[in-house]
Amino acid sequence: MTQSTTIPFRADLVGSLLRPADLKQANAQLKAGTITAAAEAAVQHQEVARIVAAQAKLGFQAVTDGEFSREYWHLDFLWGLNGVAEVRHAQYDKNFEGDIAPADNVRLNGRVAYNPDHPFFAAFSYLNSVVPAGVLAKQTIPTPALLFRDHRSDNWADYYDSLEALEQDVIKAYVQTIQHFYDLGCRYLQIDDTNWAFLIHNLRRTEGDAAAAKPYVELAERSHRLLAGILSQLPDDLAVTSHICRGNFQSTYLFTGGYEYVADYIKDLPYSGLFLEYDNARSGSFAPLATLWNGDANKTLVLGLITSKFPELEDPAAIKARLQEAAQTVPLANLALSTQCGFASTEEGNKLTEDQQWAKLQLVQDIAQDVWGK
């Protein structure tokens, strides 16, 4: 897979957007059985068309559907694969800051395989049908490494002789799924990846203790194998980026630590760009940027310097100063700007209003134009 020289864009966005009240109501009615799926889809489509127009009006060259067809940023995609079952009211080992925890998960119920009727295909097709001329439809999906965490494949031995065989099926399912997005017209795909932040947190916590670190090193190696195996099989003109997220559930977070703990596992993955959270001190320094960039003239590091968790607008001068600081490590020509994450990793969304969300995205555009020009 070759790299794109234009994607990601100087001003880019991560993906999810706040769900409007009418869509939340329609989703609740659908779950209660008081409206049909077709009625819910009509509301969803109306709102997707509205927010696509709003993103384009702000000047974004690639837009998303806000992930309006999803309940979760990750689980809905995994539930859509064959061999993956929906689990409700699961018990998690960890909570987000503030003792908030999601309640659902996935579990294997067969061999993992591509699903030609994955519901994300219909969602992308609608998005692609309403983007304005000259604007790309950006598709986001979760990292395959999530299937190897949080008890999601604890029962792998029921269906596989080895974890390596499961890895190969996951790679194949992802490649076929991404190829289908491509066949539907997708040319910009993003792999959202909380797994690297999970590993940052735990490799930092176990630093100096080889025995304690071993399972995390093994997961890092597996994550690299999965991603490398997928990326090597994709079309040359499909730009693929990745967003490394520390957790964003209802304006909270899960993980802390700098990118130096995982940079060596990521640096040679052939992404067009990396979206990196840098909205507070928990993200660490800019020093690992050199390793993550890896001297690739066609790779862009998108710095998430503007938080999507809270409504207060950052000082543009301070953000520009941070960009210039980062440019001491990676050329400014290989940097871009976004919010630190999306605005609604789950349907509940972060603690700000839609107007405040658009103000954040306008700030991204304004600063990017000042720094790089149109």
DSSP 326-359: HTTTS-GGGEEEEESS-S-SBTT--SS-HHHHHH
Q: Return the axis-axis angle of helices 354-372 and 37-58, rounded to nearest 10°.
A: 30
Q: Which of 220, 217, 268, 219 is nearest to 1 (CA)?
A: 268
Contacts of 32 (CB under 8 A, 6+ apart): none
Q: How many helices (H) and strands (E) would you count in the chain?
A: 11, 9
Residues of the chain below pLDDT 50:
1-5, 96, 99
| Peptide bond connecting 8 to the previous residue in cis, omega within 30 degrees of 0 | yes
103-137 tens-digit pLDDT: 688 999 999 999 999 999 999 999 999 999 999 99
Q: What is residue 1's predicted lDDT score, i.e. its pLDDT?
A: 41
Q: What is residue 250's predicted lDDT score, i.e. its pLDDT?
A: 60
**Rounded CA gap, 302 and 166, in Å?**
32
pTM, entire model: 0.93
Contacts of 347 (CB under 8 A, 6+ apart): 19, 24, 27, 70, 71, 72
**Amino acid found at 293:** W
Structure tokens at 43: 């509301």
Q: What is residue 3's predicted lDDT score, i.e. its pLDDT?
A: 39
139-149 tens-digit pLDDT: 999 999 999 98
